[in-house]
Amino acid sequence: MATRKKNWAAAKIIGGLVLLVVAVVGLVYGAILREMERAELDYSQGNAESALQRYETVEQQLRSYGVIRFMPRQDRQNLLLNQARLLYALKRYDEAAERLERENELSGMTTDGRFFLLRGNIAFRKAASDYTESQQKDARVLEDALRGAEDNLRDSLRLTPQSWDAKYNYEFINYVRRMMNQNDDQNKVKILMENVRVKETQPQALPPDQAS
Residue 142 — pLDDT band, cuts 50, 70, 90? Answer: confident
Is 169 inside a domain boundary? yes
Distance of CA 188 to the CA centre of its chain: 32
| Shared-domain flag, residues 168 and 152 | yes
Name the amino acid, one letter, at 157: L
Q: Which residue has the higher pLDDT, 59 or 201?
A: 59
| Shared-domain flag, residues 107 and 124 | no
The whole-number average pLDDT for the span 149-162 is 94
Is 159 inside a domain boundary? yes
Domain total of the chain: 2
- Please give the mean pLDDT across all residues of the chain: 77
* pLDDT at residue 38 greater than cutoff 50: yes
Model pTM score:
0.76
Is 212 inside a domain boundary? no
Q: What CATH number is given to the structural domain containing 59?
A: 1.25.40.10
| Shared-domain flag, residues 108 and 120 | no
Range of the domain at 17: 9-112
pLDDT at 19: 43
Is 118 inside a domain boundary? yes
pLDDT at 95: 95
* pLDDT at residue 106 greater than cutoff 70: yes
In this structure, are residues 176 and 189 in contact, taking their beta carbons and an 8 Å threshold?
A: yes
| Shared-domain flag, residues 160 and 130 | yes
Residue 151 — pLDDT band, cuts 50, 70, 90? Answer: very high
In this structure, are residues 165 and 117 in contact, taking their beta carbons and an 8 Å threshold?
A: yes
Closest to 62 measured CA to CA, from 19, 28, 92: 28
Report the 10 Å Cβ neighbour count for 180.
18
Highest mean pLDDT among 9-13, 20-24, 34-38, 113-117: 113-117
| Shared-domain flag, residues 186 and 121 | yes
User: Which of 112, 133, 161 marks a domain boundary?
Assistant: 112
| Shared-domain flag, residues 157 and 199 | yes
Report the 10 Å Cβ neighbour count for 101.
15
Is 16 inside a domain boundary? yes
In this structure, are residues 174 and 152 in contact, taking their beta carbons and an 8 Å threshold?
A: no
pLDDT at 23: 42
pLDDT at 113: 92
